[in-house]
A = this chain, B = another copy of it.
Amino acid sequence: MKNKTSFKGSVLLNPVPVVIVSSKNKKGISNVFTVAWTGTICTEPPMLSISIRPERLSYDFISETMEFIVNIPSRSLTWETDYCGVRSGRLHNKIEEMKFDMIPGSHVNVDYINQCPVNIECRVTKIIKLGSHDIFLAEVLQTHIKNEIIDENGKFCFEKANLISYCHGEYFPLSEAPIGKFGYSVVKSPKIIKEYKEKYGKFPLLSKKIKQK
């Protein structure tokens, strides 16, 4: 029996990030709104994308100035994150309502939300029309990170940032403990294997390399 049910196209990519995007129009009015349709798209140059419905106020602001800031919320800002996604800047001053502490960006003429542990300043390089949403490709110019999540060696300790994910209409916290690390499946040093087993739990080691035909 088939163990799966099939559905016609809808995007069930989960979980995805959920971020608050700030922008400022040419008159100097700021707005914030929530975006889950975002992702990293390139490592060098560092780039990310956000997709926006053309009817959103932020669509006008960002296409006017080609600048925005991605503010990554922590768990304590889940409620604010939701609110900024369901209320429009045309009717609400969400920045004042949420009591966001706005700090001017250093590379773009946009303010960032100081309460968010990470803020990413971006400049749009291309807007592509898709349908309900248009995708904005953007280069990352500068990032600001809360000092508390940087350790004494300069390492970013994201597990201390209490970040959240968006999964099929709900917000989920990331658990504090990671379960693996990039490249952990191929380590060979017995010392590191032991360390990873302690940190990430038991994991299998491949016994047999099978060549591609």
Contacts and interface: CB of A to CB of B under 8 A. Distances in A.
Interface string A142-184: 1111110010000010110101110111111111011111111
A42 B48 contact: no
Contact of A14 (B43, B75, B158): B158
Chain A interface, DSSP helix/strand/loop, else mixed? mixed
Bin the interface of chain A by size. Answer: 35 or more
A48 B183 contact: no
Given A15-B163, A120-B11, A163-B167, A4 B145 contact: yes
A85 B130 CA distance: 29
Interface string A25-50: 00001010000111111111111110
A97 B5 contact: no
B79 A180 contact: yes
Contact of A182 (B86, B87, B165, B210): B86
B16 A40 contact: yes
Contacts of A128: 126, 128, 137
Nearest to A164: B179
5 contacts: A11-B120, A13-B39, A15-B165, A39-B49, A41-B135
8 nearest A-B residue pairs (beta carbon): A39-B39, A170-B178, A83-B185, A82-B185, A171-B180, A44-B132, A42-B130, A9-B140
